[in-house]
């Protein structure tokens, strides 16, 4: 294993579990474990590196002085608390967003609280949130029943930062309203703030000099993005674009000296491009577009003034370098050449660009972090996100493209067992959750690699409704959960069967959330195709989902469900797989967290009752301390063991029990 800065902060890490077996597949526990490290960010002067480090039921922050690699700060979280995000607001001070697992749920949840401390761990201050001193054991600043998020530090005022606060304005109706405030990061005091232009949870953008410039909000009636520019002289918002009229503008960065704004835009086009907006005329000039997919991420220069390149992911990750000769772009391109076959992305620059923290990942590599020192002209390994994963033991994640039955082009990924011949393999179809706006990508994922390590090919399809493939692809699947989306998945299965890679007589389907819905719906619509079904925190009854899910707590959530799931009761019943179990031929493994509020636990219980009423075969796995997905590593390991046993009995080659559970 590589050694680097990880060795410096090993005092905060958990003992490493059993490493992958020297012979054969990695241990199942290796896939169930969470990442060993989280975020890494450089101080503005590049002298210090702050990293979040999970440690059991807590996540701490370690601060390392790069000149001698000594730990100079240990920001230890209280029990059940987590440093979920961090920002340097000066060379000495850090702001941290808090997550908590203090309660019945295993998985940490963001709390909307902000805490600050100096890099050495001193001068801690609770800046914003609902608990204050009693909750986190730090001095109270502002206690408020709202949700706080960092926007941007003020470069020339190291004790000040912009934050966003969202509050209920009518709890009964589920109405929210956001404000942008300037906050003192030493005292917690904040100004009166600027109110968002619309009800709902808006997003604000501040320029590099600390001036409020833009807000983006979802229209409460249509959900379409509406973009506004802030007139500081008149203290009012001016609308400059709305997605309902084909002009969707997502501002990314604004230069304060010339007012040039860089925008992720869909202006009369189907896909998001990168454009620049003239500050006077508002005219958009395209800088980068892709014929297949939307903008994924824009890489900016160290000073945030110049967009260097745009990342897209039609299959593998590709970058369109819009300013290829900029010194920062030349550096990133050189680093990318040093890691062939992998993706390289900047994570954190020092303000003068002399130091860079960057990430490297691929379909087989879960992610590594490096530090580049421009003066020394040297890149140093910092840490691996999952040091126990050997990329050579992982499977290829092969991009695929095929035509759906109506002629639409659909993208997806086929993960193959490592070192196995790609012919007549048993297949697990793994539809993603969401379903709208979510997509599967090229990087390493634990579920797919776990299944591939046990000899299964894994198909993941970005069916219509998935994000990243343009507006038409996203909107085509509205109210078609059980029709068009399922057809796209089925057509993908038939595509890989016809290729000869997959054995068409050995196919099961497994998914979580919407993926659980899609798994059961696929099996009732194509009863001869699937030999087993795994529904993980799934949805099986659409009218019940609309009544009981926490999506409906907010007014925007209710609008979303009406627009994207539908309001026609008869059609919702028709598209609910629980009502078509007479067509089911495959056994089902039902997996659910009993505290799930997104796809409520009642969905699993109703499916179990319906299966029992029809004397259909099923298996059952629930956890009383889990919500919308299993977080506890022991629970995740048990899930993998049960999944593999279930799959092996239905489509796989039987393995000895000790190997199946290893």
Which domains are seen in the chain, by residue range?
395-660 (3.40.50.1820)
User: CA-to-CA distance for 662 and 253, rounded, in angstroms?
Assistant: 48
Angle between helices 446-453 and 633-650 (to 10 degrees): 40
* Per-residue model confidence as pLDDT tens digits over 481-509: 999 999 999 999 999 999 999 999 999 99
Kindly tell me if the per-residue pLDDT of 25 is higher than 90: no
Of 266-270, 380-384, 451-455, 651-655, least confident by mean pLDDT is 651-655
Whether 80 has a pLDDT exceeding 70, the answer reads yes
| DSSP H helices in 260-371 | 327-337
Mean pLDDT, residues 582-605: 96
User: Which pLDDT score is estimated for 140?
Assistant: 57
- The mean predicted confidence, pLDDT, of the chain is 91
Other Cβ atoms less than 10 A from the Cβ of 434: the count is 14
- Per residue in 602-636, pLDDT (tens digit) is 999 999 999 999 999 999 999 999 999 999 999 99
Distance CA(599)–CA(422), nearest Å, equals 36
User: How many angstroms separate the CA atoms of 396 and 392, rounded?
Assistant: 10
Could you tell me the pLDDT band of residue 660, with boundaries at 50, 70 and 90? low
Report the side by side order of strands in the sheet with 147-153: 147-153, 160-170, 175-184, 194-195
Please give the pLDDT value at position 593.
Answer: 95
The answer on pLDDT for 15 being more than 70 is no
Digit-coded pLDDT (tens) for 397-416: 999 999 999 999 999 999 99
**CA dihedral of 104, 105, 111, 117, whole degrees rounded to 10:** 90
Region 423-433: what's the mean pLDDT?
Answer: 97
SS3 546: helix
List the end-to-end C-alpha distance of the chain, in Å, as a whole number: 22
Pairing between strand 588-593 and 532-536?
parallel
**What percentage of the chain carries pLDDT values higher than 70?**
92
Angle between helix 484-498 and helix 514-525 axes, rounded to 10 deg: 70
What are the distances in angstroms from CA 200 to CA 26, 555, 557, 605?
46, 8, 10, 33
Q: Are 210 and 152 in contact, with CB atoms under 8 Å apart?
A: yes
pTM: 0.92
Q: Which of 454, 457, 446 is nearest to 412 (CA)?
A: 457
Give the dihedral sign, CA 21/26/27/29. positive
With 80 as the cut, is the pLDDT of residue 533 above it? Answer: yes
Do 503 and 420 contact (CB within 8 A), yes or no? no
**Which residues have a Cβ under 8 Å from the Cβ of 144 and sit 6 or more positions away?**
128, 129, 130, 165, 167
Distance between CA 590 and CA 511 in Å, rounded?
Answer: 11
State mean pLDDT over 220-245.
Answer: 91
């Amino acid at each position: 294993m590589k050694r680097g800065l990880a060795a410096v902060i090993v005092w905060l890490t958990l003992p490493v579990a059993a490493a992958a077996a020297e012979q054969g597949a990695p241990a199942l526990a290796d896939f169930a474990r969470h990442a060993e490290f989280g975020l890494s960010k450089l101080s503005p002067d590049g002298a210090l590196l702050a990293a979040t480090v999970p440690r059991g039921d807590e996540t701490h922050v370690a601060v390392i002085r790069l000149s001698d690699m000594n730990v100079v700060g240990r920001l230890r979280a209280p029990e059940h608390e987590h440093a979920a995000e961090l920002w340097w607001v000066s060379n000495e001070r850090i702001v941290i967003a808090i997550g908590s697992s203090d309660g019945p749920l295993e998985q940490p949840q963001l709390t909307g609280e902000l805490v600050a401390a100096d890099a050495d761990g001193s001068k801690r201050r609770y800046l914003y949130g609902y608990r204050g001193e009693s909750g986190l054991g730090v001095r109270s600043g502002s206690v408020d029943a709202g949700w706080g998020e960092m926007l941007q530090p003020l470069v020339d005022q190291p004790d000040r930062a912009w934050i966003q606060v969202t509050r209920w304005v009518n709890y009964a109706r589920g109405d929210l309203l956001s404000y942008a405030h300037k906050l003192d990061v030493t005292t917690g005091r904040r100004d009166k703030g600027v109110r968002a232009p619309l009800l709902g949870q808006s997003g604000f953008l501040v320029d590099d000099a600390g001036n409020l410039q833009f807000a983006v909000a979802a229209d409460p009636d249509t959900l379409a993005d509406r973009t506004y520019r802030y007139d500081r002289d008149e203290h009012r918002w001016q609308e400059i674009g709305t997605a309902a009229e084909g002009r969707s503008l997502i501002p990314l960065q604004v230069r304060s000296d010339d007012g040039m704004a860089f925008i992720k835009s869909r202006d009369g086009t189907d896909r998001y491009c990168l454009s620049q907006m003239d500050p006077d005329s508002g005219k958009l000039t395209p800088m980068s577009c892709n014929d297949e997919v939307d903008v994924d991420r824009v890489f900016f220069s160290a000073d945030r003034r110049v967009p260097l390149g745009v990342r897209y992911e039609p299959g593998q990750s590709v970058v369109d370098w819009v300013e290829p000769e900029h010194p920062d772009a030349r550096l990133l391109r050189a680093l990318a050449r040093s890691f062939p076959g992998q993706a390289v992305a900047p994570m954190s620059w020092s303000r003068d660009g002399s130091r860079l923290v960057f990430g490297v990942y691929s379909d087989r590599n879960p992610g590594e972090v490096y530090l580049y020192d421009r003066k020394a002209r040297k890149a140093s390994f910092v840490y691996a996100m999952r040091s126990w994963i050997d990329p050579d033991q992982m499977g290829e994640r092969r991009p695929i493209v095929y035509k759906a039955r109506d002629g639409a082009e659909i993208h997806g990924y086929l993960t193959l067992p490592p070192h196995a011949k790609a012919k007549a393999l048993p297949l697990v179809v793994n539809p993603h959750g969401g379903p709208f706006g979510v997509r599967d990508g090229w990087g390493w994922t634990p579920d797919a690699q776990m299944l591939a390590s046990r000899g299964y090919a894994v198909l993941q399809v970005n069916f219509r409704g998935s994000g990243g493939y343009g507006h038409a692809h996203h909107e085509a699947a509205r109210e078609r959960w059980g029709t068009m989306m399922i057809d796209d998945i089925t057509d993908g299965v038939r595509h890989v069967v016809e290729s000869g890679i997959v054995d068409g007589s050995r196919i099961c389907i497994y998914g979580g959330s919407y993926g659980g819905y899609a798994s059961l719906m696929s099996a009732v619509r194509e009863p001869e195709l699937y030999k087993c079904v795994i529904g993980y925190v799934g949805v099986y009854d659409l009218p019940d989902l609309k009544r009981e899910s926490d999506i409906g707590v907010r007014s925007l959530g209710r609008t979303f469900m009406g627009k994207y799931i539908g309001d026609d009761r008869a059609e919702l019943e028709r598209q609910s797989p629980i009502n078509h179990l007479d067509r089911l031929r495959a056994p089902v493994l039902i997996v659910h967290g009993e505290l799930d509020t997104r796809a409520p636990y009642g969905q699993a219980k109703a499916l179990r009752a319906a299966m029992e009423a029809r004397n259909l075969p099923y298996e059952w796995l629930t956890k009383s301390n889990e919500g919308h997905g299993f977080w506890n590593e022991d629970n995740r390991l048990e899930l993998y063991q049960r999944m593999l046993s279930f799959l092996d009995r239905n489509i796989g080659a039987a393995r000895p029990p000790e190997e199946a559970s290893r």
